[in-house]
Amino acid sequence: MLRTAVVALLVFCRHGAAGDGSRVLENAAVTGADGLSAKLERVFNLIATSGDGSSSGGAAAGSGASRSELRDALGLLLDVVEAHYSGLLRRMHELHDPEVAALLQERLLLQPSAASGTEGVSRSLAAASISSEASPSQTSFTAGFQPAPPHDASGTARVEARAGLARRLAKRRNRDAEADPEPVLEPEPTYRQPKPLPGRLSATSSPANLAGWCAELGDRLAALPANMSYPILRRLVAAVVVRAALDKGAVALTAAEEAAVRKLFVQLYEVHRRGAVHKGMMDYMHVSKSGGTSWCHAAQLNGCTTQRFDKYHVCGVKAFEDKVRWVDGAAHERITGHEPTRWSLHGTLRNATSPGCSARAAMMRANGWTYYSNEYTLTGGAAAMEDVELCSRHFVTAILFRDPVARLASHLRFLLLHYSRFMKEQGEAQGAAFYKTYANANASFWHAVAPAVTDNYFARTLLGEAVWHAPVGSLSPARHLPAARLVLLGTDLVVPLEVAPAVSSLLLRWGAGWPASFTDVHDKNIAELQAHFAFDPRPYLPGEPDMRRLSDDQLPVDGALYSLAGLIGQLDYLVYSEAAAAGVVPWEGIPDQPPPEDGPGAGDSVECGLLRGPAGRWAGSLPQHRSRRLPFVRRRPPASTPAEGTSSV
């Protein structure tokens, strides 16, 4: 079932998570105090199944996932790495790391080997913690990464922590705020074709001794270098744990197993946090009409820096050439008989000298920027999909993932709304041509004029320029879906747009150290735009048969990616909420609430959370790097219920 994981996560958000997003930390700690077996039931909204496959226990049809469905989904996730070993993608940096490669060759220690005697052997190893010794370049920032102080009912400890942070910031305001004086390019790594795995990860058995497996895996995690955040490994390990719990059937995890799993999950979070601090900058993949402007706005609220924050909240860096390429200008001219208007760069590649990941990172470092949005596609894949590069060596990577059918309808409404006026502004003949061509156009028209918009936009975003500009209908579940799944699995922050604010806020708070979430703002409301321009695009959408055809076109690839995004969100939620329950904090002094006041300086004390430049070395000086800020920030009114997600254009 394509959307099983997302449906289960949505139901969990509406019925299983406590309270509103502003108290997500306390909620996570409460749920973490329960048994892990019970928590898994809630997070995945599991329903029991009888021998004939029918649901039991009174669960409404379609309201949850059966254990067998979830186990199948976890097996699919475990096998996502096969795209790396088959050569579909050659530059997945995390999987080329020697420690990660060795773990995968040993099939995550799930099979007996000369290097591992875990299976069936009682172990008492304690999972090694991440080294607390920071390098000199990290000390100023990472020294504050300590567990939360004991709860102080009077709030004294919290007030003192914030006061201390304010004093440190004040001292640093006047120091030289220059970042790297010259962009320094790191050498591009060269990789050999990896040795195939001895077997699929999904074919391995669950650990016979779960506590011993957790302990040995903890030792291996402690050996990982600090330069990366290892999202693929984190999710593979979490998937193995969930699968092991499922394989126990009605038997709950023992106290020893729960303690070992919780310790492992905390360590997984510490690995992520350490890598995020080391990279210190975010590359956000802005998939149009999926909440990206609100995400950029949240980056501003959290005190991040970029080339420009303006009223549109695009947050791109001009030199990166990441402008949208929604409309095929040649097709528009051929069909309408008139010159194209806005957003008509489909078919236009970036320049050959356009910066890749290393050059982007160098430019960001030179300017002291901690954040940018890319509203086009990943770099490195202009000639072939195999060479696409997820910038995971240099950036914390992030994506908001919206239901692809809802995204499509939103995008068509947006184009109709604006093209009705753009073409009218070109002249009377062009305005009339809008109603003869765009208005109530069929699926074939939209495939011709807006190919990427109407044909698996998410996969095209993830797989580079060669795939972005490929003909409609050419993306296949056999080739492009496995590659896109691997890129998605390797993305640090994967947030399903439709989940409740309580869940998305937790994912951002722990993934990026941001107290303000994209759910705190809402920058593009289609109803407001329609009222402003006195034009309702809905009557001019394609007819029902054509909309159904366009929607169905998204399901084999983007629909399957959406399902994976939901499962990734659940696994990350498990890991992060266990870290919260253990008293770990993203960074010392992180506010419980978003910045209380809008406007200049609102996010200065947050300083982009975990992202304060490479190894945190810009801490205390980020406000001086901010080139432009708005005089005030529009905040989104509170949702009427905790279950409401964002309704992006």
Strands 65-66 and 396-401: unpaired
Q: In CATH, what number is assigned to the domain containing residue 406?
A: 3.40.50
Question: 380 lies in which domain range?
Answer: 281-625
- Convert the pLDDT of each residue in 8-61 to its tens digit: 555 444 444 433 333 333 344 444 456 888 888 889 987 655 444 444 443 333
Q: Is residue 572 part of a domain?
A: yes
* 388 — pLDDT class (breaks 50, 70, 90): very high
* 644 — pLDDT class (breaks 50, 70, 90): very low
Distance CA 524, CA 9 (A): 25
Predicted pLDDT at 632:
37
Number of H helices, E strands in the chain: 25, 6
Query: How many separate domains does the chain show?
Result: 1
Q: Is residue 462 part of a domain?
A: yes
Distance CA 32, CA 46 (A): 18
Concatenate the DSSP letters of all residues of 188-220 into one string.
PP--PPPPPPSS-GGGSPPPSSHHHHHHHHHHH
Greater model confidence, 177 or 86: 86
The answer to whether 88 and 107 are in contact (CB under 8 A) is no
Q: Is residue 369 part of a domain?
A: yes
Predicted pLDDT at 140:
34
Q: Is residue 74 part of a domain?
A: no
Predicted pLDDT at 163:
46
Q: Tokens for 173?
A: 């305001």
Predicted pLDDT at 314:
86
Residue 149 predicted with pLDDT over 60: no
Tell me what the mean pLDDT of segment 329-339 comes to: 95
- Which residue carries 């990660």 as its tokens? 100
Q: Is residue 149 part of a domain?
A: no
Greater model confidence, 20 or 104: 104
Q: Find the range with the poorest average confidence among 258-272, 525-539, 615-629.
A: 615-629
Concatenate the DSSP letters of all residues of 393-427 into one string.
TTSEEEEEE--HHHHHHHHHHHHHHHHHHHHHHH-
Q: Is residue 141 part of a domain?
A: no
Nearest to 379 by CA among 288, 283, 475, 483: 283
- Convert the pLDDT of each residue in 189-204 to its tens digit: 899 999 999 999 999 9
Distance CA 75, CA 135 (A): 39
Tell me what the mean pLDDT of segment 413-425 comes to: 93
Q: Find the range with the poorest average confidence among 154-168, 237-251, 278-292, 332-346.
A: 154-168
Tell me what the mean pLDDT of segment 543-572 comes to: 98
Q: Is residue 621 part of a domain?
A: yes
* 181 — pLDDT class (breaks 50, 70, 90): low
Q: Is residue 440 part of a domain?
A: yes
* 288 — pLDDT class (breaks 50, 70, 90): very high
Predicted pLDDT at 14:
47
